[in-house]
Amino acid sequence: MIRSRRNVLAGATSTAVVAAAGSMPLPSRAQQSETPPDLLVHNAKVTTLQSSQPEAQAFATRGEKIVAVGGDTEIMRLRGHSTRLIDAGGRRVIPGLNDNHMQLVRGALLYNLELR
């Protein structure tokens, strides 16, 4: 797969669930099902928000859930035939919630100050 900003951002948006589940322990290999993940992001600096493992090199997602976080070698073993692969090129992947909206009254009043 070609490394592009769009591909890296697509993989990064998958990490949004990590922010919501920040206090939950990372899934272990025993908790994962036999179905291969839909997406693997590797060669990254993944911020996990977990005190036990604050940074990882790769993660795997299935649907809208992160199913594994760890080192490149460990996560690449999970790759299936139809798994999308994104090479982050050593870039930082940070979990977050992306929100794009505007409060109509406030937006209209402060357009020149906040939205430009």
Determine the pLDDT at residue 5. 61
Residues forming a β-bridge with 39: 61, 84
Q: Which domain holds residue 93?
A: 5-115
Phi, psi for 93 (deg, rounded to 5): -120, 120
Determine the pLDDT at residue 42. 97
CB 49 within 8 A of CB 79: no
Determine the pLDDT at residue 98. 67
What are the pLDDT digits (tens) for 37-91? Answer: 999 999 999 998 889 989 999 999 999 889 999 999 999 999 999 999 999 999 9
User: Taking the chain, what is the end-to-end CA distance rounded to the nearest angstrom?
Assistant: 35
Residue 18 sits in a domain whose CATH number is 2.30.40.10
Nearest to 13 by CA among 70, 96, 92, 87: 96
Domain count within the chain: 1
